[in-house]
Chains A and B, each alone.
Chain A
Amino acid sequence: MQVIEIGENVYQIDNSIATVNLTPGIQVYQEKLIEYEGKELRIWNPRRSKLAAAIVKGLHTFPFKHDSKVLYLGASAGTTPSHISDICVDGRVYSVEFSPTMMRDFLDVSGNRENLFAILNDATRPHNYQHLVEKVDVVYSDVAQATQTQLFLDNFRLFGKDDCVGILMIKARSIDVTRKPNDIFKEEKKRLKEGGLKVIEEIKLDPYEKDHIAFICEKNF
């Protein structure tokens, strides 16, 4: 077993990646736990998490540090947020999710992790939870919605610090099923530029996720 540290609290084990488990002994989604040098590593499955898929596909800019503050839009059942909370041990992960059903699962995860904050709110209306969130280092958005770019921009402008890095996962199929994904990606990239952001990296997520792309962006001065 070959283990390499590829980032703060992120390891590569042979062909898969893993994060250091913040809550040893507890699994979030039946993932494998591996003992390594007194730490417990949680395997990060790229088929379950788009961020893991982006890392496996060669993500260069990795903005998550041990003390990062993160705004996570579309927290769902807490699969990816749990790994981010593994990485940002001393940071805070503000996780916004709209569906009460998914939130119920998420609360099981955030109950065990002190750096995960559950916000049951609509990410398209950031002013409704503006009093609950502070300025953050990273805005991560994984909301499968037709207006996903717009809501990402709104949140980024409101909560992003000047050196904030934004990660936007776009699902072409939820913007328009009938059009070609590549055309949609181009259009959304243009929209990000018009919104005052600079796309510094773009990664297609296949074969892990079909018709998905990850845009990494920052403020354009």
Chain B
Amino acid sequence: MKAFITTTSFGFIALDEEFSIVDKFLFDERQVEFLEKVEKRELTDEEVELIGRLLEDYDEVIIETNKSKSVYDALFDQGNVFVENFTGHGDYVRANFDEIISSLTDVDIGKSLNSSYNILASRKIRESVKTNDVMIVETINSLDEIEESSGKLIERLREWCTPILPELDKLHNHELYSRIIAEYTSRENIIESNVLDNTHVSLNPDYSVDIGEADLMIIRSFAKSVYSLYETRNTLEEFIDSKIREVAPNMYDVAGANLSAKLIAHTNGLENLAKLPSSTVQIIGAEKAIFRHLKTGENPPKHGLIFQHPLIRGSNWWVRGKLARAVAGKITIAARKDAFSGDYDPGLRVELEERIDEIKKAHPFPERKKNKKDDSGDNGRKKKGKKERGKKKKRNKKKLRKGEYTY
């Protein structure tokens, strides 16, 4: 004789071969607690007790669950407990859910499910938030925004100050420029303070302009906010540096703080990045180009965000594609180490540099392109590309924003 156990949202229900209920365990008030345990595939004492009771009367107990068999084997070693992830008896319970549940308990099924599922879902949401990822993603995004807007604002400030302090235009450090204006503003103050001593800029008294105190104040207040943006940028950069070093030490080694953060931000989390193949990592950030390649058969992009890696950007153009592949491969390994094992491996960077030297040595000069007529091994896609190249190109001008593409 066999007995079948089905897990429902109200409890474990045991049926015999004739589909009648022989035993049960109801969750009652502890519904949320038990559902959480089922979700996490934990074996509860109550379920074990139920199986124990059934084994007294039945030869075999078949359990419908997605827990693995080994969980049960540890407790019941006679080989009479079986695990299935789908049974006809479970199907029967789900088909006659209302009759079965209302015969066992008199709670309002809808109401109780609604409230406990809501609690269950909100708990899962809370668990799903990964603070480290959120911090990295938001910081690097803010950094991007700050860089964009501070560029605009410093341009405005320079334009504003040029009539009064034309010599300062030669000062190329934006941060220093905004600091000087914010702190000293007037020509006399700057000369007195000696801030320009170590620079190649000096003030010429001939250019002196008449300007009122109120006018200087308004320039100063604007300059102050611009300078504070630069200060914020510096703190954010420091933060990213330390955060990546802590969360992803391997990636920090291989890719550097900024690039690592950008890659993590682009994929919305370290774990997502670690699950991507290295060929995808290589072209993250070049979505527009890769989709154009897929649509028109044009050459695929060699690198995306990864181009910012100093080893790629600083190399000759004819090896960049090869280097991008090597770097992407190592970044992928590093990301996986960081996300899943957490061990720090200083060898990664060394291996990468060795490999890069190898590639550079093997290709000291650009290779001449092969003669088109000699190319008999062309595949279909390439041919299509050439055909397309002759025609007028129709480019997909729509810019893909974040969230509009999937990997």
Taking a contact as CB atoms under 8 Å apart, the answer to whether B86 and A127 are in contact is yes
Band of interface residues on B: 20 to 34
Contact of B90 among A113, A114, A130, A177 (CB under 8 A): A130
Taking a contact as CB atoms under 8 Å apart, the answer to whether B118 and A131 are in contact is no
Taking a contact as CB atoms under 8 Å apart, the answer to whether A178 and B294 are in contact is yes
- Closest chain-A Cβ to B204's Cβ sits at a distance in Å of 58
- C-alpha spacing A57/B114, complex, angstroms: 33
Band of interface residues on A: 20 to 34
Given known pairs A103-B125, A132-B9, A134-B97, the reply for A177 and B294 (CB within 8 Å) is: yes
Set of chain B residues within 8 Å of A128, measured between Cβ atoms: 39, 66
- C-alpha spacing A119/B123, complex, angstroms: 11
Set of chain A residues within 8 Å of B125, measured between Cβ atoms: 100, 103-104, 107, 120
Quick one: closest B residue to A178, CB to CB?
A: B294
Taking a contact as CB atoms under 8 Å apart, the answer to whether A131 and B129 are in contact is no
Set of chain A residues within 8 Å of B95, measured between Cβ atoms: 134-135, 161
- Closest chain-B Cβ to A161's Cβ sits at a distance in Å of 7
Contact with B along A22-45 (1 / 0, CB 8 A): 000000000000000000000000
Taking a contact as CB atoms under 8 Å apart, the answer to whether B97 and A177 are in contact is no
Taking a contact as CB atoms under 8 Å apart, the answer to whether A107 and B121 are in contact is yes
Taking a contact as CB atoms under 8 Å apart, the answer to whether B128 and A100 are in contact is yes
Question: Which of A117, A127, A131, A174 is the most central at the interface, judged by chain B CB atoms within 10 Å of its CB?
Answer: A131
- C-alpha spacing A133/B66, complex, angstroms: 15
Taking a contact as CB atoms under 8 Å apart, the answer to whether B86 and A115 are in contact is no
- Closest chain-B Cβ to A220's Cβ sits at a distance in Å of 19
B26 at the interface (CB under 8 A from A): no
- C-alpha spacing A100/B97, complex, angstroms: 28
A165 at the interface (CB under 8 A from B): no
Given known pairs A100-B128, A158-B86, the reply for A132 and B117 (CB within 8 Å) is: yes
A20 at the interface (CB under 8 A from B): no
Contact of B8 among A100, A131, A158 (CB under 8 A): A131
Contact with B along A170-182 (1 / 0, CB 8 A): 0000100110000
Q: Which residues of B contact A (CB under 8 A)?
A: 6-9, 35, 38-39, 64, 66, 85-86, 90-91, 94-95, 97-98, 110-111, 113-114, 117-118, 120-122, 124-125, 128-129, 291, 294-295, 406
| Sample of 19 further A-B pairs with CB below 8 A, known A92-B110, A116-B114, A130-B94 | A111-B118, A114-B110, A115-B110, A115-B114, A117-B113, A117-B114, A118-B117, A118-B120, A119-B117, A127-B86, A130-B66, A130-B86, A131-B7, A131-B8, A131-B38, A132-B9, A135-B97, A161-B95, A177-B295
> Could you list some 18 contacts between A and B, CB below 8 A?
A100-B125, A106-B121, A107-B118, A114-B111, A117-B114, A117-B117, A119-B117, A120-B121, A120-B125, A127-B86, A130-B66, A131-B6, A131-B7, A131-B35, A132-B117, A134-B8, A134-B95, A159-B94
